[in-house]
Amino acid sequence: MRRSFVAGNWKMNGTSDSVQTLLSGIKSGAGAIEGVDIAVCPAFVHIGLAAQALAGSNVAWGGQNLCDEAGPGAFTGEVSVGMLLDLGCRYVIVGHSERRTLYGESDELVAAKFVLAEQTGLTPILCVGELLEEREAGVTEEVIDRQLNAVFAQEGGLAALNNAVIAYEPVWAIGTGLTATPEQAQAVHAFIRERLADRNETMAAGIRILYGGSVKSSNAGEIFAQPDIDGGLIGGASLQADEFLKICEAGAV
């Protein structure tokens, strides 16, 4: 059975003070929650605070992005996989829709980051998902296929999926307050798992596929109850400790 996983994506939010308050709130409440893996992904500049606050707790931490070059070297403004590992990160989000749409990250670049992260010792959280116009045009599955195929085509991509997490995040549901219905989300999760099973049934049965897109404590339970949904990637609601902890509890089995 797959163990649930709830991860918070803090995006470009927080100050040193507010992040420390959030970290200590999450740490103190998470200790009592069992049956779910929990992680937070602060902005790069706050990862050191997470490492200090969360060491020895049941909350892991990770990055929101990484450079596709292993480095070290002349890549101004970038953060390497080694730097994330040095700060004790276990996870890294790759291919978040904001990276794809606002910063032009291609499927191929995302796939390269995904493989580099996994091969270097991080567990990548690969985000996939369709835009509103793509859903309305009925091409959701084609979009997901394209995003997954880029990973399959990358050398080492299929193997990397053995130590990875996928997050299905319909772009129209991210930060909008719109949530896919549990049935809509389940249908896409099942599709993703089928596509993975075409390549490797054991990997497909074991990989965790998270749902992301306006998850809150009020809807987490019914979403996480779907058979192919193994937890959530949480944006806005992960910025309040109580709310995030309630979502983690909804994931606990």
- Residues noted as catalytic: 96, 169
Note whether 215 binds ligand PEP by CB under 6 A.
yes
199 Cβ partners below 8 Å, 6+ apart? Answer: 152, 158, 161
d(Cα 93, Cα 165) in Å, to the nearest integer? 9
Of the candidates 31, 35, 121, 175, which one interacts with ligand PEP according to CB under 6 A?
175
| Number of C-beta neighbours around residue 145 at 10 A | 16
Q: Which residue type, as a one-letter code, is found at position 85?
A: L
CB of 214 to ligand PEP, least distance (A): 4
Q: Which residue type, as a one-letter code, is found at position 35?
A: G
| Chain centroid offset of residue 215 CA | 13
d(Cα 58, Cα 115) in Å, to the nearest integer? 26
180 Cβ partners below 8 Å, 6+ apart? Answer: 170, 173, 188, 211, 213
Of the candidates 170, 213, 231, 251, which one interacts with ligand PEP according to CB under 6 A?
213
Note whether 54 binds ligand PEP by CB under 6 A.
no
Residue nearest to ligand PEP (CB): 235
Let me know how long the chain is: 253
Note whether 234 binds ligand PEP by CB under 6 A.
yes
Of the candidates 169, 228, 230, 243, which one interacts with ligand PEP according to CB under 6 A?
169
CB of 217 to ligand PEP, least distance (A): 12
Q: Which is nearer to ligand PEP, 157 or 212 (CB)?
A: 212
Binding track over 2-41 against ligand PEP, x by CB under 6 A:
-------x--------------------------------
216 CB-contact burial (10 Å; exposed 0-12 / middle 13-18 / buried 19+): middle
Using the rule CB under 6 A, give the single segment among 39-47, 51-59, 74-82, 167-175 that binds ligand PEP. 167-175
Of the candidates 29, 235, 241, 244, which one interacts with ligand PEP according to CB under 6 A?
235
Of the candidates 129, 212, 231, 251, which one interacts with ligand PEP according to CB under 6 A?
212
Note whether 174 binds ligand PEP by CB under 6 A.
yes
**Closest among 85, 91, 96 to 59, alpha carbons compared:** 91
197 CB-contact burial (10 Å; exposed 0-12 / middle 13-18 / buried 19+): middle
CB of 38 to ligand PEP, least distance (A): 15
Binding site for ligand PEP (CB under 6 A): 9, 169, 174-175, 212-215, 233-237
